[in-house]
Structures are given as C-alpha cells and as structure tokens.
Structure 1
Amino acid sequence: MGLGEENMAKPKIAIIGLGVVGTSLGLALRKADAGYELIGHDKDPGISRSAGKAGAVHKTEWNLIAAVEDADAIILALPLPAIHDTFKPIAPYLKTGVVITDTANVKAPVMAWAQELLPEHVNFVGGNPILPMGKTGLEPDADLFSGGVYCLTPSPTAAPVALDFMTDLVRLIGAQPFFLDAAEHDGLIAGGEHLPLVIAAALLRATQSATSWREMRKVAGAAYEAGAYLGPGDSAAYRHACQANSANIVRWIDEFMRALGELRRQIEQGDEDGLDESFRQALEMRRTWMKERAAKEWDRAEQRLSEPPRTSFLRQAILGGGLPPSRKDEGKKGPSTR
C-alpha cells in the first residue's frame, strides 16, 4: 500500500546505530509524536534491547537489511568508517525515493561514499547535530538536540521533498537546520569542534605528563576542566575525525599556534599593554559569542537557518503523494520503478 492511499501505514524511519545519538533521536521523535513508525537496529544486541526498553523505537530488527528495506527514511547514527561499511550492503535493498542521512561530524568523505555506493533512486542528505551548550551527550536524552543547530549537507541530486523531510525532522527534535555544502561544513567544524579537541588533548598531555602534576592536580579547577573538555567520544572517533578532516584541522592548528605564539611573546617580554589588549579582546569575543548563541542572534543575511521554501514533507507523506525519486531519476523515460 502506497503512502498516498487510504489506510496507509505510518511512514517508517529506520535508525541504524542505537548509541547515545541514535537513541536520543528516537526518543526525540517519539516525544514529538509525529506519526512515524521507528525501526531500530544495532549490531550489538544489548544496545538494541536497551534502546527498545527506553522506548526510543517501536521495534528493533536484528537484521540490517530487514530494518532498511521498507523504510521511507534511514538515519545512520554510526561512527564514520561504519557509514561506508553500511552503504555497501544496504544499497541493493533501498526503496525508490528513500531519504538517507547520517550524523557524522565530517561530511566530505560521507558525501563521496554516498555518490559512489548508493543507487540513483535514493535521496542522500548529510547531517551533523551540534549539541547545545550544557548538553554533554553522555546519556540518551529526548531533549539532547533541543536548542541546537543541525547541519545539513544535501547531495546535488536530492529531491526538494527530501530537504523538506530533513527540515521537518530537525525542527521536530527542537533543533535549527543549517544548510551548507560539505566542504564548507568541514572547514567550519575543524575550527569550531575539532580544534578545541586537539587543544584539550595537548593540554592534558602537557600538564599530566609533567612531574609536577601530582601536586598540580589539586589546584586544577574550573578553567582547567573547561580547557580539557573532550566530550562523549572515544579515541577512535577523534582519530577518524582528524584523519578525515586533516587539512582543515592542520590549517586551524597553524592559526592557533600563531595566536599562541603572539601571547607567548607578550608574556616573555612583559608586554603589559599587549597582554591587556589580547585578554580584553578575548573576553569581548567570548561574551559576544555566548550572547549570540544564547539568543540565536545570528546574522540573518548569512545564517541559512531556515527551511527551504518547498512543500512540507510531512504534508506530502501523510496527506498523499509519497516519496519522490532523486533528481538523478527525474526526466528518465519509461515506467516508474516504484
């Protein structure tokens, strides 16, 4: 039975990967009560059971293909390498017009894999949820994404209604969609997320490798904790990000080293005016950013934090019409493959 027919089944979303992000997405969508049927899959049966018990999905599937073959949308909440390894086996079983997205924090390789491995009749829209301030991401939470920005990097062939679907989904979980291309995303995320992780790792290694750490640890307070924050990831996740986004990260490390070198010079030379100005600027920059982020007072001319001016996916899917093929299929002659 098609999506546009009477007594149609609920649109199905498959969430592949039921860790903190995948489970939180399921909980957020369940909380929004948008009328989706949520199917979950994780290669670890224990994690699948936990997500099911938490109410993040309506049911779980132990078999990956069974989870995705009837899905109208698929969310790959997986580590970066696992996205590539998942595209291959699911590709032959995907419905025409299915919307596929991911949650990786590096987008260029994911977009390339989607182009290479996914069939032409699907719509791929890359995604990266940015957690709002105060959210650690250590435990699943239905409000994990509420108030945050959700980056979206559509493939050139994604149909307009696929962008509508992602816009609606992002807003349903309480986040703001931010449309940009993969290259721009990776450059920005290198400075805004990856560089702070590299700095935190360097701070921890430099201080805790010192013989004085035994006593220093007693006086390391809030400033040290903030500077040493590494988030909920693991060493493999950070390694994958650094490898996949190396050129951008190295560029930002160079910029940071120049700024740090200037501060070092000012400290070494006792440059009172220079130090005062450096810290004055830094304090003002932080205050401005914190205020803008809290109030979401981004520059309206540049932000792109708005939905594309197209028909809502939810109206299309629930009221009739179903999911369209990707733009690759538009204009092709012959009978529909649906």
Structure 2
Amino acid sequence: MTIRMTIIGLGRIGLSIGLALKDNPHQIMRIGNDADPQIEQKALKMGALDEAIHNLHTATADADIVILAVPMDEVRETLTTIAPNLKPGAVILDTSPLKTLVTRWAKDLLPAERYLVSFSPSLNPECLYPLVPGSETPRPDLFKGGVFVITSPPHTHSDALKLASDLAVLLGGQPYFADPYEADGLMAAVHGLPQLSAVALLTAITRQPGWREARKLAGQAFVEATEPITHLDDHTHLGESILLNRENLLRLLDNYIATLQEMRDYLETEDRESLAAFLKEAIQARTIWWQQRQKGDWETTPPPEIPSSGQFFARLFGLGGKPIKKE
C-alpha cells in the first residue's frame, strides 16, 4: 500500500516535510508541485520528492493527503483550484498561520467527504537564529522539538485529526490541538506582532537622516530585531495576512504601544529603578521561555507514541481513502 501525498509549495516548509519523510518506514509517495518548474526539479534532485507534477489538477487528483505550503495570499485560490479534483476521503493539511478564515473557506469550497485540517508548525530551536549557517535551508529535522498547531472545522472526521496528529509525530514534532479562534490569537502574538514590530523598527530607523551613517554600524542586534520582515506570509499582496487577522493584531498592537509608552516614561523621568526592574522581568521571561523551547519541555505528560505503519494507513481507510498497492 502507498499513501499518495501531494506537497503544494516547495519552499522551506514543503521541502522539509518531503525530506523528513524520505527515509520513513511508512510507504508514502511524495508528489511535489510548485509554480516554478525549476524549483520542482531542484526538489527532485534534493531527494525531497519521488515525483514532480507541474499540473496542479493532475498532482492532486489521486492524492490521499495534500499539504498546502503556499503563501497566505494564495491559499484560497489554491483551494478553489484543487477542490473539484479531490477524491472522497482526501485530507488537506494547511500550514498557513491563519485558522478561522481558512476553515471558513474550506467549508465553502470543499465538497463533502474532503477534510481540511490546519497544520501549522513551529520549528526546531536550532533553526530559529538567522545568523546560524544553514538555519534558513530546508532540512529533514526542521520540525524536531517543535509543535504542530492542529485545528479543524466542527464535525471533521476524527480520523482526519488523528492522521494530522500522527504525521506531526512522524515529522519529529508534537501535536497541539487548539480552537481556531484561540490559535489565531496565539499566532498573532508570536508571529504577526513580531513581523509588524520589525517593520516599524526598520521604517523608523531607515527614515531618519542618520541612517546613511548608522547602516554601517548595524550589527547582530539590528539583524535579529528586523529579521521577521523576511518571513512575511504573503507572496504578492503584502499585508493581506495581517489584514485577515486584524482584530487580534489591533488588540496586541494597543498593548504593545502601551508597553513602549511605559518604557518611554521611565526614560523621560530617568526612573532607573523601574527601568531596571522592567528589563530584568523581560530578561527572565525570555530566559525561561528559551530554556523550555530548547528542551521542548511544555507538559508533564509523556511524548506521543510514534504510530505504526498499520495505524497510519488505517486513518485513510477510515476516511474512505484507498491507498494504491505497490506493484
């Protein structure tokens, strides 16, 4: 038996999923599709795919699992394109950061017995620093030690959720189930707000007359603080993903602005004691978080058990899928 998995979008996430499953004992046929045929051929040479199919309709027609790893502003269009071709029981795993809206799109666009599950990964802590060589390249352990935020529309087949959970473990991460609204708020805090902060910081500095000289001195602090701007979620319509999650981001921006104002007040009044306490609290919070992040030590419960091959295939049979027998 072979599970046909089609990965749409061969960027860092899509390629890393393919690489992580390359030597997996489970029998998965990895099909790849990207808007750029040269990227498809590169993915084949890397060993991230078993086959590249450039026609999106053909690539998804017989897929048991479809991984959507496209920019946020291409998700709806991609769902619209592939929806008529999906066979009953197909599971779409969407890696984009927004949950509620994509869930709504899936409800409107997907035929019955086709299931969308949001499947957004956090990364291996070794890959979080932009200054580390190779941290930005696709790699099979990209998801090791991270979590996959898993959400789905109401009444999604339980086997589709278990399939997503099993795949998260196969990729080296742990499943984290969340309500779509909760997940959007969490992603806005740790993903969207850092991006907006980086944009604001970069704009505030580069618009100053002194930037011509300051740019020569910009070092590690500047690189790390502005790096999130290189990971915007849109390909063509910049800012679309920010607008789509605007309610959460407006609330967070108000809180962020209030915090900046608090620091400004300490500076203006030369309140050394309050400023020192403020900085100490922030340093302690980050230190604790980073230690936990490196260890992946979030819960006292044991890590999920890696599913057997039979269990993984059984999810698709429960959904009505019919994996193809190897010849």
TM tier, shorter chain? 0.7 to 0.9
| Partner of residue 324, structure 1 | 319
Range moving further from structure 2, 25-34 or 212-221 = 212-221
- Where do 5+ consecutive residues of structure 1 fail to align? 1-8, 327-338
**Letter aligned with residue 214 of structure 1:** R
| 1:214 paired residue among 204, 212, 215 | 212
The CA distance in 1 between the partners of 2:310 and 2:153, in whole Å, is 23
Match for residue 167 of structure 1?
165
Q: Does the 8 Å contact 2:124/2:141 carry over to 1? A: no
> What displacement does 1:320 show?
9.1
Residue aligning to 1:51: 43
Q: Give the match's secondary structure for 1:228.
A: helix
- Letter of the 1:254 counterpart: D
Q: Is the 8 A contact 1:107 1:182 kept in 2?
A: yes
Using structure 1 for the length normalisation, give the TM-score: 0.85
Equivalent residue for 2:61?
A: 69
Residue among 145, 154, 157 paired with 1:156: 154
* Post-superposition CA distance 1:72-114 (Å, at most 9, x none): 1111111123221122232222221111111101111111111
Quote the offset at 1:231 in angstroms. Answer: 5.8
Q: Displaced runs of 4+ in structure 1, greater than 6 A?
A: none
- The question of whether the paired residues in 1 share the 8 Å contact of 2:198 and 2:229 is answered with no
Q: Residues 156-175 of structure 1: CA distance to partner in whole angstroms, max 9, x if unpaired? A: 22212112211111111111
Q: Counterpart of 2:278?
A: 278
Q: Deviations over 1:274-311 (max 9, x none)?
A: 1111111111111111122122232559xxx976x9x9
Cα distance in 2 for partners of 1:118, 1:272 equals 58
1:177 to 161, 175, 178: 175
1:127 counterpart residue number: 119
Q: 1:244 to 1:169 in 2, by over 3 A?
A: same
Determine the structure 2 residue equivalent to 1:19. 11
> Relative to structure 2, which stretch is displaced further, 211-220 or 187-196?
211-220
The one-letter amino acid of 1:315's match is G
AA aligned opposite 2:94? D
TM-score by length of 2: 0.88
Q: 1:131 touches 1:145 (CA, 8 Å); kept in 2?
A: yes
Paired amino acid for 1:94: L
Match of 1:6 in 2: none
Query: Structure 2, unaligned stretches of length 5 or more?
Result: 322-327
Residue 256 (structure 2) aligns with: 256
2:324 maps to: none
Counterpart residue type for residue 255 of structure 2 = E
Worse-superposed segment, 33-42 or 107-116: 33-42
Tell me the CA shift for residue 189 of structure 1: 0.9
1:325 CA drift (Å): 4.9
Which residue number corresponds to residue 298 of structure 1? 298
The whole-number CA distance in structure 2 between the counterparts of 1:259 and 1:234 is 24
How far 1:235 sits from its partner (Å)?
Answer: 7.6
Deviation, 1:185, is 0.8
Amino acid at match of 1:324: L
Deviates more, 1:288-297 or 1:235-244: 235-244
2:6 alignment partner, SS class: strand
Deviation at 1:116, TM superposition (A): 0.7
Distance 1:256 1:155, change over 3 A: same
- Equivalent in the alignment of 2:109: 117
C-alpha contact 2:15 2:48 (8 A) present in aligned 1: yes
Cα RMSD (Å) of the superposition?
2.4
Q: Kindly provide the amino acid, as one letter, of the partner of residue 241 in structure 1.
A: S
CA distance in 2, matches of 1:208, 1:231: 14
CA deviations on 1:254-279 (whole Å, 9 max, x unpaired) are 10111110110010001121111111
Residue 253 (structure 1) shift: 0.9
Where 1:252 maps in the other structure, the secondary structure is helix
**CA shift for structure 1 position 138:** 3.0
Q: Which amino acid aligns with 2:41?
A: R
**Post-superposition offset of 1:47:** 1.4
Q: Is the 8 A contact 1:164 1:312 kept in 2?
A: no
Q: Are 2:21 and 1:29 equivalent residues in the alignment?
A: yes
1:99 to 76, 91, 101: 91
Which stretch shows the higher mean deviation, 168-177 or 88-97? 88-97
SS in 1 for 2:63: coil
What's the CA shift for 1:134? 3.5
Structure 2 partner of 1:227 = 225
Quick one: which amino acid aligns to residue 212 of structure 2? R
Whole-angstrom distance in 1 between the partners of 2:250 and 2:105: 23
The Cα shift of 1:180 comes to 0.5
Q: Is the 8 A contact 2:233 2:241 kept in 1?
A: no
Post-superposition CA distance 1:199-235 (Å, at most 9, x none): 1111111112211122222333322222122264358
Q: Distance in 2 between matches of 1:124 and 1:199?
A: 31
Query: 1:123, 1:157 within 8 Å by CA — same for their partners in 2?
Result: no
Identify which range, 226-235 or 61-70, moves more after superposition: 226-235
